[in-house]
Structure 1
Amino acid sequence: MSKSTSAHILTEGGSQNPPSPPKSFSHEYNSDSQSAELGPDQRKRSWRSYIWDTLDKSPEERRFLFKLDAVILTLASLGYFIKYLDQVNITNAFVSGMKEDLKLFGNELNYVQTCWTVGYVIGEIPSNLLLTRIRPSIWIPACEVVWAVLTVLLAKCKTTTQVYVLRFFIGLAESVFYPGMQYIIGSWYRKDELAKRSCIFHASGAIGTMFSGYLMAAVHKNLAGVGGFKGWQWLFIIDTVISLPIAISGFFLMPDLPEITNAWYFSEDEIALAKERMHLEGRATRAPYTKAKFKKIFSSWHIYLLTALYIFFNNGNGASSQPAFQLWLKSKGHSITEVNTYPTITAAITVITTLIYAWTSDTVFRGARWPPIVFSGLVNIMIYSSLAAWNIPDGWKWACFLLAGFGGGISGLTFAWGHEICGDDNEERALVTGAMNEMAYVIQAWLPLLVWKQVEAPVYHKGYMTSIFIAVAMIATAFSIRFLHHKERAWKLTRQEQNA
């Protein structure tokens, strides 16, 4: 792409005038869109863009987005896949012999999960703030390597204390990945592109959960006893073998942010295009942290309500995030293979609904993020009301555990909403998205110890009742954010008109 072509694509008016969006950047936004209309050419979207948004863009922008998707979506999805693989493997190991071998007959599984969560919480916000100062291509892959190496050490644990310590440091290392990659995705993509990428990224975590179940079943059948290791020990070894190459590739492929990237696969014109796309989107670049900036951030509703929304999402899906399904299956006498593989159906449903939520949000709901969030909350109310009653037919109980996958697919949408709401302040965006994940896991550090106790499995009455109240609170918070965001954008528009 020549310099002159790039300049035309980016500004259509030369450097002497403020940049105006080209035709290839024009998209219709509804009242839920943060961005104002982006130029005079407000063409209707063709049916092709409802399948994939790049199909309506210029050849130059399509070529750039193809490269960007190939790198960011691959690194993000594979990285989140191994994060979940190395995070949920403890549950698969627990129901596959680790419980008996290490004599974990009390609430030790709760404590192991809490140790991971405490490490995750401690590392969350510092890691996300460091991403605004350290190249993500260094920081994120380094943390991936650390947690992969720590995972293999779990295979040699002989005591619960050793497991607690290792899980703490694994959580500490993993804390950077999800909010960090969401921050990077939000730094490269525009509003009409953001939800699909965020949700594809999030879906890879559910795929990691599925794969961990299949992997545990396979190693239990084929590797138990080989080399003197039990099946659950082989799970940790193989997880590390899978994780390390993916982690190391990030050092060479991660593109950092548009304003500092030196990725070898982008031309100078494509980097200029990336910067202009974010300029047209109103997405701010990096700036210093100041007292005034912190005051602005903490006096706004953004950080409080967006954080509350993610807290409710993250802690309201116990039927899938806790080993409720697995322990119920085990209590019914199912084999180790069945206990590990049947719950993967729930994860598969999460993958499917995650993608449906993303596409409908960007197309049917024209950029609105709240409808899928409210829908998932309503599904949660239905299934957790049934499970709280518990004395229901086994067929309906099966259905409830499987339908729990509907509640796990909105994480990407909540982060996309956060990026859009905080898009005009880079540091606020980093801090708010970090706080969303951070505080969700602060709650997760202690809530399961109260309502998801291992000794109360598989009934978990308190856990299911709590999930009902959380679903109601999530729906109310989503409507509150929608109302305040509308009000805020109307105020900004009025102010812009007055200034003009």
Structure 2
Amino acid sequence: MPPKSHAIEADVDPSTLVQKEPKRKWVSYIWDTFDKSPEERRLMFKLDSAILTFASLGYFIKYLDQININNAFVSGMKEDLGMYGNELNYMQTCWTIGYVIGEIPSNLLLTRIKPRYWIPAMELLWTVLTMSLSRCNSPTQFYVLRFFVGLAESTFYPGMQYIIGSWYRKDELAKRSCIFHTSSGIASMFSGYLMDAVYNLGGRGGFKGWQWLFIIDGVISLPVAISGFFILPDVPEISSPWYLSQEEVKLAQKRMKLEGRKDRAPFTKSKLKKIFTSWHIYLLTILYICFNNGAAGSQPIFQQYLKNSTDPVYSVSQINSIPTTTPAVQVVTTLAYAWISDSVLNGSRWPPIIFGACINIISYISLAVWDIPTGWKWTCYIISGAGYGLSGLLMAWAHEICSEDNEERSLVIGSMNEMAYVFQAWLPLVVWQQVDAPEYRKGFIAVTVLSVLLIVTTFVIRFLHQKERLEKRNQTHEVEETEDGSSDSGGVTPLDAKAIKA
């Protein structure tokens, strides 16, 4: 029987596995577990059921709680609280400051404590804080609570990306990371529909319609947060979840050794020096800054356009529901990027990134011109969602580039998200000012420039990563050509060679 692609038997030592890459079956292009051994397929099913379910539901809740402020704003909160200046920008900035402060410390904590306690506890905290927003009756109260909501939510996305990168191999990463990320698009859509539904609850219980949005968000969040204590695993080296046998945990550990992923280790001066003298942390962070700020995903630009329309005039229901077409495009393109990258492109991440950036450039240059046909303007608002769905690919790429150092991987993932939101803390105050709505010319131009930088940075990283891999491959060949085995191998083993060729 021919070997199965990427299959690993539980009792096989990864260091003894052959170097030759087996031929993939066509079913693996649909879903990668179809081409694995029964033992590995069973393990993957359990991991997907636990990690992907909690990650997707948790990120759905997190993003729902993050952006509900926009839907509340265009559904009566603006008028009720007299928010006719840049108060919405300040609320978003307070959330971002909290998010920025918490990200890197949280991700570093995950290399020392058990994620299955830390992440659900923080989700439970932001659930309570989100429900508390319903009692706010002034912008200042919103500023304070939004800061702490951001602080609690800072643990989730980089933390779950770290966990996903600790359990999945290269041919599995992009699909899982992107499925995880599609939750943000679904949450954006759902928030619009939810606001449309709960708006009619206005007056009941003494709450207005937009206040009910925060209450319902909290009600949805609570069971998801509690479930995390029971189903979220830790990293493979310290994990013993109730749904995995000891043999399955050992298999998961061997999978990561085969992939070249290192176990947790202390932060030493030499390790920190190695991390901060490498291009990894700097260029990957710049890449994510350009992506995260190279779109208007956190700004209600489509909603503001519809709200300011006078011919025709759109209802509150239409203002909340029509813009959900943009995150719908995000969901579709995110999944397309994942399958194309993992299957068609054999793990290459850069082509979909370039495609998404080009869609951004086309859309936002057109919107910056502004005096364009209404049909094309709607098209630009909608197709710009194709630029929102790159996060999973960027994170998967970072996991692969930093796979040989667990602490570097954690720090880089945290830095990418951290610095992206550092920019998001002040950039909207400059280029997405609420008083400029709906013609955000400065914002549209800024997104275009950042999308160009995203393309340039992608090509630079691709070049440096290929150069790095070639150097490691040459080192491996030198070791293999040593007949007596007495030369210094530099720590390169057959296991490392497998990871390089993958």
TM range (shorter): over 0.9
Q: Which residue of 2 aligns with 1:122?
A: 101
TM-score normalized with structure 1 length: 0.93
| Residue 205 of structure 1: how far off its partner (Å) | 1.1
1:68 aligns with 2:47: yes
Asked if the contact 1:217–1:336 (Cα under 8 Å) also holds between the matched residues in 2, the reply is yes
Q: Which residue of 2 aligns with 1:285?
A: 263
Q: Does the 8 A contact of 1:11 with 1:19 survive in 2?
A: no
1:349 partner SS: helix
* CA shift for structure 1 position 242: 0.3
**Contact 1:151–1:240 (CA<8 Å) still a contact in 2?**
yes
Cα deviation digits, residues 431-455 of structure 1 (max 9, x gap) = 0000000000000000000000000
* Distance in 2 of aligned mates of 1:305 and 1:68: 31
Alignment of 1:346-495 (within 5 A): 346-495=326-475
Separation in 2, partners of 1:85, 1:462: 27
Rounded Cα–Cα distance in structure 1 between residues aligned with 2:387 and 2:374: 21
- 1:302, 1:421 within 8 Å by CA — same for their partners in 2? yes
User: Partner amino acid for 1:324?
Assistant: I
Match of 2:490 in 1: none
Give how far 1:11 is off. Answer: 5.5
Match of 1:77 among 33, 56, 61: 56
Counterpart selection for 1:321 from 298, 323, 329? 298
2:244 maps to 1:266: yes
1:198 paired residue number: 177
Alignment of 1:35-114 (within 5 A): 39-114=18-93
The residue type paired with residue 135 of structure 2 is K
Provide the rounded CA distance (Å) in 2 between the counterparts of 1:212 and 1:12: 48
CA shift, 1:44, in A, is 1.8
Alignment of 1:199-238 (within 5 A): 199-221=178-200, 223-238=201-216
Give the CA deviation at 1:41: 4.7
Give structure 1 regions of 4+ aligned residues with deviation exceeding 6 angstroms: none
Equivalent residues in 2 for 1:137-156 (5 A)?
A: 137-156=116-135
Q: How does 1:329-340 map to 2 (within 5 A)?
A: 329-332=306-309, 333-340=313-320
Distance 2:230 2:261 in 1: 26
CA distance in 2, matches of 1:490, 1:329: 52
Q: For 1:380 and 1:330, how far apart are their aligned partners in 2?
A: 23
Of 230, 235, 255, the residue aligned with 1:257 is: 235
3-state SS of 1:19 partner: helix
TM superposition shift of 1:158? 1.1
For residues 49 and 41 of structure 1, what CA distance do their matches in structure 2 show? 18
Deviations 1:221-263 (A, max 9, x none): 2x11111100000000000000011001001111111001110
The structural deviation recorded for 1:10 is 4.0
Q: Which amino acid aligns with 1:259?
A: E
2:344 partner SS: coil
- Identify if the C-alpha distance between structure 1 residues 40 and 495 changes in structure 2 by more than 3 Å, giving closer, same or farther: closer
The amino acid that maps onto 2:468 is E
Letter in 2 for 1:9: E
Give secondary structure in 1 for the equivalent of 2:145: helix
Q: CA separation in 2, counterparts of 1:382 and 1:412?
A: 22
Secondary structure of residue in 2 paired with 1:321: coil
TM-superposed deviation, 1:279: 0.3
Give the Cα–Cα distance (whole angstroms) in 2 for the partners of residues 382 and 182 of structure 1.
30
Q: Distance in 1 between matches of 2:427 and 2:339?
A: 33
1:499 deviates by 3.2
Aligned equivalents of 1:157 and 1:11: distance in 2?
58
Contact conserved, 1:388 with 1:461, CA < 8 A, in 2? Answer: yes
Q: 1: distance between equivalents of 2:228 and 2:12?
A: 35
Q: Is the Cα–Cα contact under 8 Å of residues 93 and 235 in structure 1 kept in the other structure?
A: yes
CA distances 1:117-165 after superposition (whole Å, capped 9, x unpaired): 0000000100000011110000000000000000011111011110000
* 1:20 equivalent in structure 2: 16
1:173 counterpart residue number: 152
Distance 2:19 2:133 in 1: 59
Matched residue SS, 1:414: helix
Report the aligned-residue RMSD: 1.2
Alignment-derived partner of residue 484 in structure 2:
none
Determine the structure 1 residue equivalent to 2:226.
248
Letter in 2 for 1:408: Y
- Give the aligned residue type for 2:226: I
Contact 2:10 2:39 in 1 (8 A): no
Per-residue CA distance 1:55-113 (angstroms, 9 max, x = gap):
00001100110000000000000000000110000000000000111111000000000
Q: In 2, are the aligned partners of 1:121 and 1:441 still within 8 Å (CA)?
A: yes
In percent, how many aligned pairs have the same letter? Answer: 65
Q: Select which of 300, 321, 325 maps to 2:278.
A: 300
Structure 1, unpaired ranges of 5+ = 1-7, 22-38
Structure 1 counterpart SS, 2:15: coil
Whether contact under 8 Å (2:127, 2:221) holds in the other structure is yes
Could you tell me the TM-score, scaled by structure 2's length?
0.93
Q: Deviations over 1:263-291 (max 9, x none)?
A: 00000100000000000000001000001
Q: Given residue 266 of structure 1, which amino acid in structure 2 is its aligned partner?
A: L
* Gaps in structure 2 of 5+ consecutive residues: 1-7, 481-502
Give the partner amino acid of 1:305: L
Tell me how far apart the structure 1 counterparts of residues 359 and 232 of structure 2 sit (CA, whole Å).
Answer: 37
CA distance in 2, matches of 1:57, 1:154: 48
Paired with 2:373 and 2:114, the residues of 1 have a C-alpha distance of 54
Amino acid at match of 2:142: V
